[in-house]
A and B are shown apart, each in its own frame.
Chain A
Amino acid sequence: MRNRRPLLAPAILSLALLQMLPAAAQAGDSEFHSLVERMSDYYQKRPMRFMGWMNFFANRFTPGGVSNFQMAIFDGVEASPTHPSEDFESSLASLVGPSYQPFVNVHNVRSGEWTCIYTRESGKERIEMLIISIDASDAVLMKMLLKPEAMREWVDDPLERGRDARRGAQEAQHSQP
């Protein structure tokens, strides 16, 4: 019994911490949280569950220069591929707010998928990037912090990075159960 106690306490503590992690990851950025709420209102859908866990693990595997990765997936949204582009872009812009500047838009005409990328300065030479990718049935919201080296890649080739973001969002959607 004397030998078990030292093992039990850290185990309980670890378990408690693990339980708290998703909530911490979700609540870590209140602005992201309120954006998720606004998207929830817009689509009349709640984001998929367990995103806190996913964000926690995703942050361990983000590419160099990317940090504070957060993501929310809205499954089964009614996003028609026949959105009039101007209306759609302006409704997204009002959703993300005026502090974000539109940077790259990728529209796949055949599938009706839109990927809109917004940025803003975040002090200490960091850029906050917001990626919203929407297809006929799902919407993905991603937010991350970019260091100069990561932003440089975007400035060098925004077209290809925008396509990468679209593919990344697609993979995130398809990897969901």
Chain B
Amino acid sequence: MNARHKIIRTTGLAAFFGAMLLGASGLPAFGQNPRLDIKNLEALSKKASEVVDVNLDGPLLKLASKFMTHEDDREALQIIKNLKGVYVKSFTFEKPGDYSPADVEAIRSQLQPPAWSRIVSARSKRDGENAEIYLMTAADGGNVLGMAVICAEPKELTVVNLVGPVDIDKLSQLEGKMGIPRLGEHGDESDQKPGGHRAKP
């Protein structure tokens, strides 16, 4: 076997095993990441009067779960135990209209199919509030790998990113904890798609 054949064979084997590994590990499709890049949303940061970042991951998340000893924390604890990280970024603006829907695109652009799908979009015409929930599932459509929540109010915009398996039915247990807004407060119109059906973003 000459050197050229050897290289082709080695490359072919590497590609084969690489593809097998990708399939077996439940990696998200097209290399999309369950961890959003919400650290630097410069356009929004410049317009906001206050920016708050919350990072709960690694040892701190494990530690936080130790302190959730109340009876009513039990279900939330089950979710947190499986999570790898909870990241919240909240922008407060001085007056309504200080940020535009286009500014939110910096976040939405990361939540694209095929890995991400919007499962809930609720809008309150009365209060001008808007909540969207996105799920990232594994390439085989099975495991949930992460979740994103965009909660837009006239003077406040909050982005929540949960990394790790999340049971959407139990998400309500995390509302009001760890900086996650109460999503039940939004609800005039919604295109909720329970059961993991993908909605067009």
A residues contacting B by CB (< 8 A) are: 85-86, 101-110, 119-121, 125, 127, 148-149, 151-152, 155-159, 162-163
14 sampled A-B residue pairs with Cβ under 8 A: A85-B40, A101-B60, A102-B53, A104-B52, A104-B53, A104-B54, A105-B52, A106-B52, A107-B53, A108-B49, A108-B50, A155-B67, A157-B176, A158-B88
Q: Assess whether B52 is in contact with A86, with CB atoms less than 8 Å apart.
A: no
Least Cβ–Cβ distance between B6 and chain A, in angstroms = 44
Would A155 and B90 be within 8 Å (CB), given that A106-B50, A107-B50, A125-B66 are in contact?
Answer: no
Least Cβ–Cβ distance between A22 and chain B, in angstroms = 32
Query: Is B12 in contact with chain A by the CB < 8 A criterion?
Result: no
From A110, A127, A149, A158, B178 is in contact (CB under 8 Å) with A158
B residues contacting A by CB (< 8 A) are: 39-40, 45-46, 48-60, 63-64, 66-70, 88, 90, 176-179
**Chain A contact residues: over half helix, strand or loop, or mixed?**
mixed
From A85, A108, A151, A162, B64 is in contact (CB under 8 Å) with A151
Of all A-B residue pairs in the complex, the 8 with the closest CB atoms, nearest first, are A105-B53, A148-B67, A155-B64, A158-B54, A107-B51, A152-B67, A159-B179, A151-B67
Closest to B93 in A: A109
Q: Assess whether A159 is in contact with B52, with CB atoms less than 8 Å apart.
A: yes
Residues of A close to B177: CB separation below 8 A: 155-157
Residues of B close to A101: CB separation below 8 A: 55, 57-60
| A101, A104, A149, A159: most-surrounded residue (chain B CB, <10 A) | A159
Residues of B close to A156: CB separation below 8 A: 176-178
**Chain B contact residues: over half helix, strand or loop, or mixed?**
mixed
Least Cβ–Cβ distance between B83 and chain A, in angstroms = 13
Q: Assess whether A157 is in contact with B66, with CB atoms less than 8 Å apart.
A: no
Beyond A107-B45, A108-B50, 4 additional pairs, beta carbon < 8 A:
A101-B59, A155-B177, A156-B178, A162-B52
A151–B68 CA distance with the chains assembled, in angstroms: 9
A61–B60 CA distance with the chains assembled, in angstroms: 27
Residues of B close to A148: CB separation below 8 A: 66-67, 69
Q: Assess whether B50 is in contact with A103, with CB atoms less than 8 Å apart.
A: no
Q: Assess whether B63 is in contact with A121, with CB atoms less than 8 Å apart.
A: yes
Would A109 and B49 be within 8 Å (CB), given that A86-B40, A157-B179, A158-B88 are in contact?
Answer: yes
From A119, A121, A149, A163, B52 is in contact (CB under 8 Å) with A163
Would A159 and B67 be within 8 Å (CB), given that A85-B45, A105-B52, A109-B51 are in contact?
Answer: no
A106–B45 CA distance with the chains assembled, in angstroms: 12
Closest to A113 in B: B50
Q: Assess whether A119 is in contact with B88, with CB atoms less than 8 Å apart.
A: no
A29–B52 CA distance with the chains assembled, in angstroms: 30
Residues of B close to A125: CB separation below 8 A: 66-67
Closest to A106 in B: B52
From B40, B50, B57, B64, A109 is in contact (CB under 8 Å) with B50
Residues of B close to A163: CB separation below 8 A: 50, 52
Least Cβ–Cβ distance between A161 and chain B, in angstroms = 10
